[in-house]
Structure 1
Amino acid sequence: MTQRTAIITGGSSGIGLAIAQQLAQQDYRIAIVARDPQRLQQAARQIGPGTRHYAANLSRRGAVEEVAARLAEDLGTVDVVVNNAGFTRVIAADTPLAQAEREWDAVIEGNLKSTFLFTLAMLPHLRKPGGRIINLSSIAAQCGSGSPGALGYSAAKAGVQGFTLNLARELGPQGITVNAIAPGFIADTRFFGAGLPQDRIDAIAAETPLARTGRVEDVAAAALWLASEQASFITGTITSINGGARVG
């Protein structure tokens, strides 16, 4: 069989890197896209020989068009697109309006607009039928954040979920599946910079029915399944990877 190809945005660290590694272990050709060239090079070495890496700001249409053209030229038809790129900024109800607007625009562009632009740019190169689009949402889109400051992030990830559901309807007749993964708290990432204090991590674990925090491998396993042939009749879903946190 022809070797399958996967592109992972935000693939230089955390969840994106874990997804790329698991797909590579299943003999996918891997390309990762992110902003930092140095971290991309380091990640490509971790993923394995033959991993391609591309630096681009995916919230800018020109940059997206350029990297999509390079990907198409280098890889040809693509089987799986994983939209994982994103970040958060602190926007709370009491954030001064000018600052809140500035941070809001950055978060919406970095999480929602980037997913929208990159997906549409890669659609002409996605396998039909059989293509897979996997978007990364968040538990914050479903029930908000446990602490103030995630107004923009929650809204952006809720937008990702709406985009996923609508795109699944549009692309279903072409045999392309579109799904999202909504992780809960994943401890082993750089999402919170230096990380949360241990007492806060312990509190999150205590509030979770499975009594632990998530790991990047938990999310990567879900992405691996959604990318597989076994998930060919799964589309328009939001898969929650949170240890039952919304139940607890």
Structure 2
Amino acid sequence: MKFDFAGQRVLVTGGAHGFGRAISLAFARSGAQVWTCDTNAGGLTQTAVLAEQGGLPLRTRTVDVGDRAAVQALVAEVTADGGPLDVLVNNAGGVLGQVGRPIEEISEADWHALFRVNVDGAFYFAQAAAPHMKRQGRGRIVNISSGAGLGVSLTGIQAYASAKAAQIGLTRQLAHELGRHGITVNTVAPGFVRSNPTTERQWESYGEDGQRRLLDGIALRRLGTADDIANAVMFFASPAADWVTGQVLSVDGGR
């Protein structure tokens, strides 16, 4: 399926690497005007260089998705000329360097930090984008959750699994609230993909035996790529998904 987003405006969070970078570049290659943000300024620069090399329309901004005022300012910038915001992709998230530990060792700060980046950020961006999409009478919001939100986290990080499950709940609730305005809200739940420094460290930590067990548990017997996730996002954002909302698409090679 060839996706065409010519003339559309797309905002992707967490575009400094991995899924966010792949999603941003995929939309840009399909003709969209793309804005992407992250707190990782160096990674954003690399994303911008890749876009420039391909002659792609992409703008980057350094924004903390957990800062509601900064989120609102970015959405205001994207729509400053009165133009539309067609697609919002809430990809920013992750484990922020945390590792699995027993529940009694988890601090209040560690727990809230993962909800802030994975859930609060998605809520703040949806909250800022919704009025523009309502005025347009259309819009697409796609959240990037995780297989951890549907089952258990391979990392053993309680807050990550809980936050990703909360993101799915937010998706379903917003789908019902915003559907009457022509806005769809869906979630992509990726399986394990080696897409950034954190997942590379996780992969190496398994050793050869653990890596083999992980692959044996995947129906297709291979890991996915960031482009596999980008393709799913673009489906949800495309006219092919006009009557699809409140759904979770597992992109995990079959579990």
Contact 1:182 1:241 survives alignment (8 Å): yes
Corresponding letter in the other structure for 1:107: L
- Distance in structure 2 (CA, Å) of the matches to 1:95 and 1:66: 38
Corresponding letter in the other structure for 1:106: A
Give the secondary-structure state (helix, strand or coil) at the position aligned to 1:126: helix
Give the secondary-structure state (helix, strand or coil) at the position aligned to 1:73: coil
- Give the equivalent residue in structure 2 for 1:110: 117
Q: Does 1:19 align with 2:23?
A: yes
- Distance in structure 2 (CA, Å) of the matches to 1:74 and 1:9: 21
- Give the equivalent residue in structure 1 for 2:178: 171
Structure 2 CA distance for partners of 1:103 and 1:193, relative to 1, 3 Å? farther
Worse-superposed segment, 70-79 or 208-217: 70-79
Q: How does 1:37-186 map to 2 (within 5 A)?
A: 37-48=41-52, 49-73=56-80, 76-88=83-95, 89-96=98-105, 99-126=106-133, 128-148=136-156, 150-186=157-193
Aligned-pair distance for 1:37? 2.2
Give the secondary-structure state (helix, strand or coil) at the position aligned to 1:82: strand
Aligned-pair distance for 1:112? 0.4
Give the secondary-structure state (helix, strand or coil) at the position aligned to 2:230: helix
- Distance in structure 2 (CA, Å) of the matches to 1:135 and 1:223: 9
Q: Does 1:219 align with 2:229?
A: yes
Structure 2 CA distance for partners of 1:47 and 1:201, relative to 1, 3 Å? farther
Aligned-pair distance for 1:194? 3.4
TM-score where L is the length of structure 1: 0.91
Percent sequence identity is 32
Q: Which runs of 5+ in 2 are unaligned?
A: none
Q: Which runs of 5+ in 1 are unaligned?
A: none
- Distance in structure 2 (CA, Å) of the matches to 1:175 and 1:147: 37
- Distance in structure 1 (CA, Å) of the matches to 2:168 and 2:109: 23
Structure 2 CA distance for partners of 1:244 and 1:139, relative to 1, 3 Å? same
Q: Does 1:206 align with 2:227?
A: no
Q: Does 1:28 align with 2:32?
A: yes
Equivalences, count = 242
Superimposed CA distance per residue, residues 205-233 of structure 1 (whole angstroms, 9 cap, x where no aligned partner): 11111101111111111011111111111
Aligned-pair distance for 1:74? 6.0
Aligned-pair distance for 1:29? 0.8
Aligned-pair distance for 1:75? 7.5
Superimposed CA distance per residue, residues 80-123 of structure 1 (whole angstroms, 9 cap, x where no aligned partner): 00000012123533442xx4321111000010001001110122
Q: Does 1:240 align with 2:247?
A: no
TM-score where L is the length of structure 2: 0.88
